[in-house]
Amino acid sequence: MTRTKFTPSGSGGGLDLIAVSHHYGSRRAVDNVTLNVAPGEILGLLGPSGCGKSTTLRLAAGLETLQQGEVRIGGRTVAGPGINVPTEHRHIGMVFQDHALFPHLSVADNITFGLGHLPATERRERAAVWAERLGLAPHLKSYPHQLSGGEQQRVALARALAPEPRVMLLDEPFSSLDSRLRDQIRDETVAVLKQAGTATLLVTHDPEEAMRMGDRIALMQAGRIEQLDTPDRVYAMPRTPFAARFLSETNEVPGRVEAGRLRTPLGDVPAPQISDGAAAILMFRPEALQEQPAGNGGLALRVERATALGAYRRLEVTAPDGLRLAARLPAGPLPPAGAILHFSLNPDFCFVFPAP
């Protein structure tokens, strides 16, 4: 396959994957994936381990040879039939989980590692600019082992951004950080990427990370895109049971459809898309169970366990028929085990799917 040098076209385009597929032996790791990431957009490629998301990123980067489909960057084909532009000429930046900093180089030299084609003065200016943007200015002469994990992550991000890439590829870059620092670095990263106007593909297995950082989410399963939409729509309107389950905890209640409604022990829910007489499953988020004052009717549920989780309480409750459910309520006093509470079911957090 021809390896041609890629010169950015200046068209302002982002990243496009068109009908991309990839096999490892008989296993199809990526199956007809089509994605586009616009300049300044962050697309979260979300899914469980082994679903093909990192392979998709590697195909975009040129770290795997494309077998089928096409990859475009800035409107220019960089991989496709007869074309395989080397990674170093794709005008991309990459950040991985392990940072991959050079331990024998200072922070300044790590940041400017990919800028050897520029004069020394301009390299120093780039290092100073990105160090200032990412809070690394006091550490330009330090070495990676002298930095915290969060500072090392910032250096990796600065190094990737210093060449002013058209596309940024992030592969689980925050998973090694503790939760509080992870939130801070995520927010800082989003701000920098937005300011730079870089098209960004973020690979993650963490739904919260995808929803927190992504303008859109591409949910992946077994090599295919299960759902592609904004975070709020993927959460509130999942298209499949897998999508519903992966984004957060769900309750699942079987039932049967009659006259366009799913009959369940918790009440009836509209199900116009399922044929009458068909078995179906009601799925709903824990926050769909909303506590009601005693005497206002609603579902009488027995508390089995209550846990305080900061801004909310998680309750495990059972219905009179023994059905066990999870409820998520605002922070407040924890009810004792055995207490009877009354709930309504908010249909906005309910999803009905045909029974498997």
- pLDDT, one tens digit per residue, over 12-56 is 479 999 999 999 999 999 999 999 999 999 999 999 999 999 999
pLDDT of residue 263: 87
The residues, ordered by sequence, that sit 6+ positions from 26 with a Cβ below 8 Å of its Cβ are: none
Run of H or E including 128: helix 120-133
- CA dihedral in degrees (53, 15, 174, 327; nearest 10)? -60
Run of H or E including 344: strand 340-345
Mean pLDDT of the chain: 90
- pLDDT, one tens digit per residue, over 146-162 is 998 888 988 999 999 99
Going by pLDDT thresholds of 50, 70 and 90, the confidence category of residue 330 is very high
pLDDT of residue 279: 93
Q: What are the b/e assignments for 299-327, b being 16+ CB within 10 Å?
A: bebebeebeeeeebbbbbbebeeebebbb
- pLDDT, one tens digit per residue, over 1-23 is 333 333 333 334 799 999 999 99
| Cβ count near 283 (within 10 Å) | 19
Distance CA(273)–CA(149), nearest Å, equals 50
| SS3 at position 59 | helix
The DSSP 8-state label assigned to residue 105 in this structure reads S
Percent with pLDDT over 90 in the chain: 70
Phi, psi of 185 (to 5 degrees): -65, -35
pLDDT of residue 354: 94
pLDDT of residue 185: 86
Question: Which candidate, 38, 33, 79, places its Cα nearest to that of 201?
Answer: 38
Distance CA(41)–CA(54), nearest Å, equals 19
pLDDT of residue 4: 36
Q: How far is CA 158 from CA 125, 133, 167, 235, 329, in A?
A: 13, 9, 14, 32, 41
Phi, psi of 113 (to 5 degrees): -60, -35
Distance CA(129)–CA(137), nearest Å, equals 9
- pLDDT, one tens digit per residue, over 77-97 is 999 999 999 999 999 999 988
Angle at 225 between CA 223 and CA 231, to 5 degrees: 135
- pLDDT, one tens digit per residue, over 289-307 is 999 887 777 889 999 999 9
- CA dihedral in degrees (258, 259, 263, 266; nearest 10)? 180
- Report yes or no: 254 and 279 within 8 Å, Cβ to Cβ: yes
More confident residue, 67 or 188: 67
- Report yes or no: 39 and 197 within 8 Å, Cβ to Cβ: yes
- pLDDT, one tens digit per residue, over 199-219 is 999 999 999 999 999 999 999
Residue found under tokens 């918790």: 266
Distance CA(287)–CA(241), nearest Å, equals 17
- pLDDT, one tens digit per residue, over 97-147 is 877 899 999 999 999 998 888 888 899 998 999 898 888 999 999 999 999
Going by pLDDT thresholds of 50, 70 and 90, the confidence category of residue 346 is confident
- pLDDT, one tens digit per residue, over 306-320 is 999 999 999 999 998
Distance CA(187)–CA(140), nearest Å, equals 22
pLDDT of residue 8: 34
Q: Which domains are seen in the chain, by residue range?
A: 15-91+165-245 (3.40.50.300), 249-354 (2.40.50.140)
Distance CA(307)–CA(142), nearest Å, equals 45
